Amino acid sequence: MVRIVLALGLFLGLWAAAGGYGIGLPLTDEQLASYEALPIVRPSGAGLPEGEGDPATGFEIYAFDCAGCHGPNGEGAPFDRLVADAPFSLDLPPHRFAVGNYWPYATTLWDYINRAMPFASPHNMDPDEVYALVAYLLAENGIIDADTVVNAETLARIRMPARPLYRVDPLTRQLFPWIELP
């Protein structure tokens, strides 16, 4: 049985390498350029553009562009929950992981939303809109006050509740002893 599975895997691998799966569309030059134009934001906040946003503005954008997939207040359904309803614990089912109990950095939340959301039409928001959405999600998760304005500097200073859960794993630590998580 193992041999059949291995042979099948090899066959599928060769088939994919030879001509792909015959699904999807090749990226156009414009699509590729739009990905390459995106800023790359690091946990330290390096790469965040100028701009700012507040939770109330974020809520207006959220209601229009995000609520249909993430729930009216980020409670999830049909897709990922964004507002945590409990602190992280290993007993918590993964569908209850959210920004407030699982995301290590506020900076990379900006990057993710800028890069990937809204799911069906990403790369269509300006930096202020993304800042506002991040502010809204941080406020709903109880991480900032409802009237706090966020920007590149303040996002980099936020210590997320889940940050202490993240560590360098022992093998990586052994291979790269100098690595420190920001």
Q: Which residues bind ligand HEC (CB under 6 A)?
A: 65-66, 68-70, 79-80, 82, 98, 102, 112-113, 117-120, 133
Q: Which is nearer to ligand HEC, 68 or 142 (CB)?
A: 68
Minimum CB separation of residue 118 from ligand HEC in Å reads 4
Q: Which is nearer to ligand HEC, 113 or 143 (CB)?
A: 113
Minimum CB separation of residue 162 from ligand HEC in Å reads 10
Q: Which is nearer to ligand HEC, 123 or 173 (CB)?
A: 123
Q: Which is nearer to ligand HEC, 24 or 177 (CB)?
A: 24
Q: Which is nearer to ligand HEC, 102 or 131 (CB)?
A: 102
Cα separation of 111 and 39, whole Å? 8
Q: Which two tokens stand for residue 117?
A: 């959301």
Minimum CB separation of residue 55 from ligand HEC in Å reads 13
Cα separation of 69 and 78, whole Å? 6
- Give whole-number Cα distances, 175 to 44, 135, 166, 172, in Å: 23, 37, 18, 5
Minimum CB separation of residue 145 from ligand HEC in Å reads 20
Minimum CB separation of residue 91 from ligand HEC in Å reads 18
Q: Are 64 and 117 in contact (CB under 8 A)?
A: no
**CB burial string 100-134: b at 16+ within 10 A, e below:** bbbbbbbbbbbbbbbbebbeeeeeebebbbbbbbb
Token pair 């599928």 is found at 12
Token pair 């100028």 is found at 50
Token pair 């699982």 is found at 102
